[in-house]
Structure 1
Amino acid sequence: MISKVQVVGASMSTFTRTIRMALEYVKVPYEQISAFPHSEEIKQYNAFGKLPALLIPGRPKPMVETLVMRTFIDATYGNDKTRLTPLDLESQLNVNFWISSVSDHVFKNLIFGVAKPREMMEKRNESEEAIQERLSKSMPLALRTLAHLNDEYMNSEGPYLCGDQITWADLYLYPCMADMFSLPETQQFKQVAPKIWIWYQHFEQLDLAKNTYSGSVAQQRASL
C-alpha cells in the first residue's frame, strides 16, 4: 500500500509534466516513478502504454488518461483558489478549447511535425541541411498552428491563457511550448506567436514550472 501520491511517467513527457505541475499547484506532495512510453513499467498500470499513470493512496486502481486525472485533482484537491477548471460555463469552454487544441493540433503539427523529426535526425547525426530540408515540409503548418493559437490568446484579459488565473489550459500548453522554444526554430516561433512567447516567458518563472524542469526535453537540449 502506497503512502504518498505517485506519478508514473518520464520527466521528458509533456503529459507527465502537466500532471506534476497540477500537483505542484494544489500543493499535494508526490513522488515520481520513472517509466517510458510503452515500457513494461508503465504497462503495469496502463495496458496502452501511455503516460502518465497516477497512483493514489487508498485507491486500488491506478488512474490513467489525463481527463480522469484532471477531474480527480479538481474534485479532491481543488478549492476556490486552486481549482484548475473554472466554475462558469464560458470559461470551461475556453479551457477545453485549449486542451483539445494542444492534444490534437499542437501535438500533431508541432511535436510530431517538427520536434520529434528533428530529435530523431539529430540522434542519427544527420546534417543540419538535411534536417532543414525535412522540416521544410512541416514547418508551414506548424507556424500556422502557432499563429492561430496566438490569435486566440489575444482574447485573453489576463496573463494566463484563460484570464487572471492558471487553468488546465496553461498546464497543457506550457510543456509543449517549453520543448518547442528549446529548438533552433525558436525565432520563427516567436515571430508568428509573439504573445504566446510573452505568456511562455512569464509562466516559466513560476515555481511549478521550475520544479518540473529537470529531465524535460527543454532541459536536455539546454545542456547540449
Structure 2
Amino acid sequence: MPSYTIVGTPFSTFTRSITLGLQHKDIPYKQVATTPHSDVAYKNHPFGMLPTLIIHGIGNSDIYLCESQAIARYIDRVAPLPSLDLEPGEAGIAVPEKMWEFVSLAGSQGFPAVEIKVVKHRVQAIDDGKPSDAELREHIKHGVANLKLFLARMEALMAPEGYVYGWKVTWADFFLFPLLSDLKATPEGEILSPRMLKWLAIMEELKAVKDTTAGTLSVGGRP
C-alpha cells in the first residue's frame, strides 16, 4: 500500500482542502509544513505552489502529484469510500461534473476574492499594527464589494440547507470551507450571510475540520 506526504503549511487553504479529504477518508499522511515559493515548495512543485502530494511505494521512485483538483481525484480513485463525489441525479444535479464546477469556481474565483483582495490585507494589518481599521477598510472596499458578489453567486449554487449539495458532504464543501473559515476569522466576516454562517457551523462539527484546524487563521495561525 502506498504511503503519503502532503507538502504545504496548514495555513494554506488549498492544502487544507486536501487534508480535509484525507482525514475524512481516514487516509494516514505526514505533513511537511512549508510556504509557497520556498525551497521545499519548489523541490516538490514546478512553480513552487501548494500543495503537493508525495506518493510513496508505487514503482521505484516517489510520485509527486501537484494541483489540488488532481490530488482530490487521485484520492477519490484510490479511496472511493466514503464518497466525496455525487452520482448523476443525486442532490438534484444532472451530471456529477457540476460538483467539480463548484470546486473550480471556489479555487479560481474564491481564492483571489477572499484571500488576495481581502484576508491577506487584513492579516498583514493585524501583524504590522497599521494601517488603522478605518484606513484598511477604505483600502480594501473594492475588494469587499467584489467579495460580496462572489459570496452571493456561490450561495445561489448551493442547496438551501445543509452542505453545499444538501445533506452529503462533498469536495465542494472541502474546497470552499478553508476560504470562508479564514474570512470568518476577520472583521470582514461580518458580510457572511445567514446561510453561509449556518453552513460554516455545520462544517465546524465535522471531525475532519476539527482535525485540520491547528495552524489555520481561525486559531491565530500564521504561515
Q: Normalising by the residue count of structure 2, what TM-score does the alignment of the two structures yield?
A: 0.89
Distance 1:69 1:113 in 2: 26
Equivalent residue, structure 2, for 1:213? 213
Equivalent residue, structure 1, for 2:152? 147
Distance 2:155 2:180 in 1: 12
Q: 1:198 to 1:19 in 2, by over 3 A?
A: same
For residue 29 of structure 1, report the CA deviation from its aligned partner. Answer: 1.1
Equivalent residue, structure 2, for 1:66? 68
Q: Is the 8 A contact 1:91 1:162 kept in 2?
A: no
Q: Is the 8 A contact 2:160 2:195 kept in 1?
A: no
What per-residue deviation string (whole Å, max 9, x for no partner) do you get for residues 32-54 of structure 1?
A: 11111010011111120011111
Segments of structure 2 that go 5 or more residues without pairing to the other structure are: none
Equivalent residue, structure 1, for 2:112? 108
| Superposed structure 1 runs of 4+ greater than 6 Å apart | none
Equivalent residue, structure 2, for 1:182? 185
Equivalent residue, structure 2, for 1:24? 23
Q: Is the 8 A contact 1:94 1:162 kept in 2?
A: no
For residue 188 of structure 1, report the CA deviation from its aligned partner. Answer: 2.2
For residue 3 of structure 1, report the CA deviation from its aligned partner. Answer: 7.1
Equivalent residue, structure 1, for 2:37? 38
Secondary structure in structure 2 of the residue aligned to 1:5: strand
The answer to whether 1:199 aligns with 2:199 is yes
The answer to whether 1:138 aligns with 2:147 is no
For residue 157 of structure 1, report the CA deviation from its aligned partner. Answer: 6.2
Please, which of 123, 127, 148 is the counterpart of residue 123 of structure 1?
A: 127
Equivalent residue, structure 1, for 2:55? 56
For residue 122 of structure 1, report the CA deviation from its aligned partner. Answer: 2.7
For residue 28 of structure 1, report the CA deviation from its aligned partner. Answer: 0.8
Q: Normalising by the residue count of structure 1, what TM-score does the alignment of the two structures yield?
A: 0.88
Distance 1:217 1:48 in 2: 24
Paired letter, 1:8: V
Distance 1:220 1:91 in 2: 39
Give the structure, 1 or 2, with the largest relative contact order (CA under 8 Å, sep 6 or more). 2
Segments of structure 1 that go 5 or more residues without pairing to the other structure are: none
Q: Is the 8 A contact 1:99 1:168 kept in 2?
A: yes
Q: Give the number of aligned pairs.
A: 214
Secondary structure in structure 2 of the residue aligned to 1:49: coil
Q: Is the 8 A contact 1:160 1:166 kept in 2?
A: yes
For residue 146 of structure 1, report the CA deviation from its aligned partner. Answer: 1.0
